[in-house]
Amino acid sequence: MANHKSAEKRARQNLKRRLRNREQRSKIKTTIRKVETAISEKNADTAATHLKAAIHVLDKAVSKGIVHKNKAARKKSSLTIKVNRLASGM
């Protein structure tokens, strides 16, 4: 347990940030899952819509420092390739 006033404040801040980050990570996973579900159902229009939302969520997470920029780029790239492949009918 924290002994100093500043350490108590730091513990409160860490708790708030941890909860906020966990919420954001959950949101990322949910949006990616929606894209992958639409792809597996072979629904190109829905997949493209959800892809746009997923890219927005990933970019926002990068700007907040929740996800590394290379990880977000990798996710966006792989999802975009899958959606484009579905749209072209391969």
Q: How far apart are CA 79 and CA 66, in angstroms?
A: 19
Specify the pLDDT at position 50: 97
Domains and their CATH numbers in the chain: 5-88 (1.20.58.110)
Note the pLDDT of residue 89: 77
Give tens-digit pLDDT for 24-83. 999 999 999 999 999 999 999 999 999 999 999 999 999 999 999 999 999 999 999 999
Give this prediction's pTM: 0.85
Q: Measuring CA to CA, which residue among 24, 17, 19, 64 is closest to residue 9?
A: 17
Kindly give the interhelix angle for 5-40 and 69-88, rounded to the nearest 10 degrees. Answer: 10
pLDDT at position 1, please? 75
